[in-house]
Amino acid sequence: MTSNRFLRAARRSFTAGAAALLIGAATVPSLVTPAAAADGPASVADLAQGLLGAVVNISTSQRVKGTEGPGAVPMPQLPEGSPFQDFFDDFFKNRPGEQGNPSQKVQSLGSGFVVDAEQGIVVTNNHVIADADDIEVNFSDGVTLKATLVGTDTKTDVAVLKVDPKGHKLTAVKFGDSSKMRVGDWVMAIGNPFGLGGTVTVGIVSARNRDINSGPYDDFIQTDAAINRGNSGGPLFNSDGEVIGINTAIISPSGGSIGIGFSIPSQLALGVVDQLRQFGETRRGWLGVRIQPVTDDIAESLGMATAKGALVAGVIKGGPVDNGTILAGDVIIKFDGRDVNEMRDLPRVVAESTVGKAVDVVIVRKGVEQTVKVTLGRLEDGEKLASGENGNTEKDNGDEAPAVSTVSVLGMTVGELNDETRTKFGIAAEVSGVVITDVAKDSAAAERGIQAGEVITEIAQESVATPKDVMDRIAALKEQGRKNALLMLASKTGELRFVTIRMD
C-alpha cells in the first residue's frame, strides 16, 4: 500500500459523517483541493483490507473463587419436603463456590496484532491479558486459536503471545518508525471496541511525547482516531500500513471516545517486544542514580544558564556509578549522545540502552561541564538493590567541634546530629549532616515542604556537619550575591533530595 493512496483517501470525506473531519483542513491547499472535493467520496478500503487479517481480537478468561465466606448468605434450613426445596437448591447449591462449581469465569476482550506469521507471534497490551488463565486469539475470518504467554512488561504495558502457526494461515504486519511521525500525519486504528471486531477508524497524530503518568517511560502518541474500550492492544498504522503505535489508553468521562487516545510509540515498544521474545523478560540498562527535575531556582544555584537535564539526588550503593563517577549534585545533560532536556528523558534513554554497554555521560558538576564513562548495569537487578539501601554515603562529616548547638536560619532551627537527636527523630545511623529540629510556619522552608527530622547534608554542594557550618555557608552565599541556597536533604532513612530556599 502506498502513502499516496492513503492520503488521497484521507483527503476526501469517505462517509457523510466524516465531513466534519475535513472542515478544518479545507483551508490547507496541500491536503484538500477543490478538484479533490469534486471527485466525490472515496475510501480507505484498500489500505484497511490489507491490514485487517493481521489484527486480532484477544479474548481472556479468569477463574475466580466463589462467594463463600463470612459475608456470604447461608442457605436457609427448610423443613423436609418443603415445596421451596428445589428453588433454594438451584440458587444456593449451584452457585459459584459450592462443591462441583468452585469458581466462575470472568471474561474480557481486547485487541492485538500479528508481527511474525512464521512463529505465530502476537503483540497486545499487558493489561489485556493480565491475570488471565486462558487466552484466545480470534482472527477476522472466524478462526480461534489458543495462545500462550511469551512475556509481559508492566512498565510499558506490552505483552507478547504465541499461537500455533500451523493452526491457521497468518498475516503479519511490521513495525514502522514512530520517530518520523509528525503532528498532523494521518493514522488508522483497527481493533475490537466493545467486542465489535474488525473496526477501522481514521484520524491524525494530535500530539507526541505525551506523559499521562501511567508509567516511568511515558512517551505516548496522542491521536483523535476513535479508540474505545476493547481497542487496547490494537495497532495504530501510518499511511504505509506500518505499526507506529500500540493503542493503550483513552481520556473519557463517559467511557467512550472523545477523540483523545494514546498509543505506545513503536520506537519504545519494538525493543521491549524483541527482549520479551528473546528472553521472556526485559533486560534494561541501569545507571544507579536517583534523580529529580532541574528547576529554575536549582539551575541558578548551580550556576547553569538554563534549567535542563536531570539532577542526581542520590547514588545507589553498589550500583554502576557507586565508584565516584557520578555524584549527588551532578546534572546529567547528555547520555550516550542523546540530549537530556528534562528529568523524564533520562530513565527512558537509559532503559533503552544495552546492559553492560559503556557509554559517555555529559554532566555539569559545580558549574563545569565534563564527560564521564559509565558501564551500565541491569535495571531489574538494580531495583532489588535499590529497595534495600539508603542512598549515597558520599559525605564529609568534618572533624571540628561544633561552635554552637543550634541555630535559626532561613526559617529553620538546625542542631547537632547526635545520639539524642537520632533517637528523637528516628534517623538512621548511616545519615550524617545537621538535623532540622523545627520549621517555622509560613516560612520559605515550610513552603518547600521541609520538615523537622530531615537532615541537611550539603549546602551549595559543600558538606555541612555542624550548625556553624550551616551559618557559614549561608553567609558565604549571601556575600556572593546568591538569591537561593541549594540544600541537599536526607530523609530519616537516607533518601536524598535537593531543595532551593530563597535567602532574601
Q: Among 51-60, 156-165, 485-494, whose mean pLDDT is lowest?
A: 485-494
Catalytic entry in 232, 239, 266, 353: 232
Quickly tell me which residue has 496484532 as its cell.
113
Q: For residue 49, is pLDDT > 70?
A: yes
> Ramachandran region of residue 409, left (φ > 0), alpha (ψ -120 to 50) or beta?
beta
Q: Roughly how many angstroms between the first and final C-alpha of the chain, as a whole number?
A: 65
Contact 268, 243 (CB under 8 A): no
Q: What is the pTM of this model?
A: 0.66
- The pLDDT, as a whole number, for residue 40 is 40
The values of phi and psi at residue 220, to 5°, are -70, 150
Quickly tell me which residue has 547534608 as its cell.
457
Active site residue 157: yes
Catalytic entry in 13, 108, 127, 178: 127
- The pLDDT, as a whole number, for residue 36 is 43
Cell of 188: 488508522
Residue 229's nearest CA partner among 305, 125, 320 is: 125
- The pLDDT, as a whole number, for residue 10 is 45
- The pLDDT, as a whole number, for residue 246 is 97
Q: What is the mean pLDDT of residues 46-74?
A: 75
Distance CA 325, CA 339 (A): 19
- The pLDDT, as a whole number, for residue 80 is 55
Is 74 exposed, middle or buried, given 0-12, 13-18 or 19+ CB atoms closer than 10 A? exposed
- The pLDDT, as a whole number, for residue 115 is 97
Per-residue pLDDT reduced to its tens digit, 329-346: 899 999 999 999 988 899
Q: For residue 286, is pLDDT > 70?
A: yes
- The pLDDT, as a whole number, for residue 334 is 95
Higher pLDDT, 73 or 324: 324
Q: What is the mean pLDDT of residues 84-110?
A: 57
Catalytic entry in 153, 157, 219, 224: 157
Q: Among 110-124, 309-323, 349-363, whose mean pLDDT is lowest?
A: 309-323
The CB-side HSE value for 377 (13 A sphere, CA atoms) comes to 19
- The pLDDT, as a whole number, for residue 27 is 33
Q: How far apart, in Å, are the Cα atoms of 231 and each of 112, 199, 208, 246, 354?
A: 8, 9, 20, 9, 32
Q: What is the mean pLDDT of residues 79-93?
A: 54
- The pLDDT, as a whole number, for residue 171 is 94
> Ramachandran region of residue 204, left (φ > 0), alpha (ψ -120 to 50) or beta?
beta
Q: For residue 28, is pLDDT > 60?
A: no
- The pLDDT, as a whole number, for residue 370 is 94
Contact 75, 43 (CB under 8 A): no
Q: Among 9-18, 184-193, 254-263, whose mean pLDDT is lowest?
A: 9-18
**Distance from chain centroid for Cα 162:** 25
Active site residue 127: yes
Q: For residue 60, is pLDDT > 60?
A: yes
Q: CB atoms < 10 A from the CB of 241, how many?
A: 22
Q: What is the mean pLDDT of residues 200-228?
A: 91
Q: For residue 314, is pLDDT > 80?
A: yes
> What's the mean per-residue pLDDT of the chain?
81
